[in-house]
Amino acid sequence: MEQEQVILRIDGITKQFHQTPKPAVANVSFSLLQGDLLGLLGPSGCGKTTLLRLIAGFERPQSGRIEIAGKTVAGGHWIPPEQRSVGMVFQDYALFPHLTVAENIGFGLRYSKKCSDRVDKLTELVGLAGLEKRYPHELSGGQQQRVALARALAPEPALILLDEPLSNLDVQVRLRLREELREILKATGISGVFVTHDQEEALAIADQVAVMRQGKIEQLGSPEDVYTHPQTRFVAEFVTRANFLPAKRIGQLWETEIGCFKVKKESADKEVGDLMIREEDLILQRADNAPVIIHTRRFLGREYRYCLQTSSGKRLHARTSAEIVLPVGTRVELAVAEQAIRFFPHKDISDNLVMNSCG
């Protein structure tokens, strides 16, 4: 927290394409501090890539303002992409096939005198030393990704944008590059915005996560905050991947088919709704006459993931440490740490029906 300087300010940006009835980006506002890494997280078609392209200058917004490093670049004053001092890493990397690795990395440095020094430094930084003379088609996917990153970083942009930077890679490479990506960006001190549909990736890399849905930001906050305190049901489903249990108010308590729970924060006026319980917060205890039965068990290495079936037929998921092993078919009683439960209003009518049938 040396200096709280805003590097990117988005102010009421709206982008509507001709072919679609709804705007791709609808009145979005936020700002990003110097040195921070923001993850735009959302399902496909939520407008996250459009927002990124608006920042880069490849799309023009209908209304709103974008400011990069204190300079207005869209809204009132239009600055084309090449003058925005923004680096971009594309989903398919967009490496120039007719240029070598070194030429690709140096492409944005044509006016710089220390071009070759900088290229050497970056090649080193992204771990590609020795491959300078290769052509893109001679590289693996992970290596291409590194070239794309180095190329975007070379001109020392004020801001770097990454469009699904890891989505085209194998799982192994993806996990390794995920760590490296954050380290490299932090080492250069350049602020960044990256788009992803993978919640784990967003939580692992970003300083700030913005969850998007239908062109709007549903929640913006630190990864911990978004994960533990989802503000909307969508965020809870998409990021936290929690269980939802229909519940009915009985005095101070909420009654569900697996028991009654206290909820700390809630909307007081509601009589029915859903309780959100994260998979890792469910505690299983063997009990011979309990209503819940273990349906399947999957070993995930460090933990077990159980699928549980309640008497009404609803399925719940629970993760436990690998030490506790309960066979399939075991009847269990469920307990939850109270502060981990959150209340959400019902999503739609069909849920109501389910609840009624549960009694």
Partner 1 sequence: MQISRGITAHKPPLFLLITGAITAVAIVIPLTYLVIRTAGVGGEELADLLLRPRTVTVLINSAGMAAGVTLFSALIAIPLAFLTVRTDLPWRRFWLIVTTLPLAVPSYVGSFALIAAFGPRGSLLQLLLEPLGVQELPSIYGWFGTILAITLFTYPYILLSVRAGLHGIDPAMEEAARSLGYSKRATFFRVLLPQLRPSIVAGSLLVALYALRDFGTPSLMRFDAFTRVIFLQYRSSFNRNLAAALALVLVVLVLGILWLENKARSRARYYSRRASRRASQVKLGYWKLPALLFCTAITLIGLVLPVGVALFWLIRGLTVGGGDAVNLAQDMVQPALNSIWASGLAAIAATICALPVAILAVRFPSRITAIIERCSYIGFGLPGIVVALSLVFLGANYLPWIYQTVPILVFAYLVLFLPQSVGTVRSSLLQVNPQLEESAQVLGRTPWQTLREITLPLVRPGILSGSMLVFLTAIKELPATLLLAPIGFSTLATKIWTATENVAFSDAAAAALTMLLVSFGTTLFMLSQEQ
Minimum separation from the CB atom of position 53 to partner 1 (A): 8
* CB closer to partner 1, 92 vs 183: 92
Among 7, 86, 150, 258, binds partner 1 (CB under 8 A): 86
Does the footprint of partner 1 cover residue 130 (CB under 8 A)?
no
- Sign of the CA dihedral running 65, 195, 206, 86: negative
Give the shortest CB-179-to-partner 1 separation in angstroms: 25
Pairing of strands 191-196, 159-163: parallel
Q: Which of 108, 192, 230, 273 binds partner 1 (CB under 8 A)?
A: 108
For residue 82, state whether it binds partner 1 (rule: CB under 8 A). yes
CA dihedral sign of residues 168, 170, 173, 175:
positive
Q: Which residues contact 57 (CB under 8 A, 6 or more apart)?
A: 73, 74, 79, 80, 81, 84, 86
Q: For partner 1, which residue of 21, 76, 97, 189 counts as binding (CB under 8 A)?
A: 97
Closest by Cα among 10, 39, 6 to 26: 10
Binding partner 1 (rule: CB under 8 A), the pick from 90, 134, 180, 237 is 90
Question: Closest Cα to residue 357, out of 308, 310, 292, 300?
Answer: 310
**What Rg, from alpha-carbon coordinates, does the chain have?**
24
Q: How far apart are CA 135 and CA 300, in angstroms?
A: 39
Sign of CA pseudo-dihedral 169, 170, 176, 179: positive
DSSP state of 86: E
Residue 98 C-beta: closest distance to partner 1, Å: 5
The two tokens of residue 256 are: 């569900």
**Which of 152, 202, 206, 334: binder of partner 1 (CB under 8 A)?**
152
Query: Which CB atom, from 60 or from 264, has the smaller least distance to partner 1?
Result: 60
Q: How far is the CB of 81 from partner 1 (least distance, A)?
A: 4
DSSP single-letter state for residue 59: S
Task: Identify which range of 56-64, 117-125, 205-213, 334-342 contacts partner 1 by CB under 8 A.
Answer: 56-64
Q: Which is nearer to partner 1, 28 or 154 (CB)?
A: 154
Query: CB neighbours (10 Å) of residue 203?
Result: 18
Query: To the nearest whole angstrom, how small is the minimum distance from the Cβ of residue 178 to partner 1?
Result: 22
Minimum CB distance to partner 1, residue 269 (Å): 47
Q: For residues 151 and 314, which CB has a smaller minimum distance to partner 1 in the complex?
A: 151
Question: How many residues line the site for partner 1 (CB under 8 A)?
Answer: 29
Is residue 107 a contact residue for partner 1 (CB under 8 A)?
A: yes
Q: What is the DSSP string of 90-127?
A: -TT----TTS-HHHHHGGGGTT-TTHHHHHHHHHHHTT
Residues that bind partner 1 (CB under 8 A): 56-58, 80-84, 86-88, 90-92, 94, 96-98, 107-108, 110-111, 135, 137, 151-152, 154-155, 161
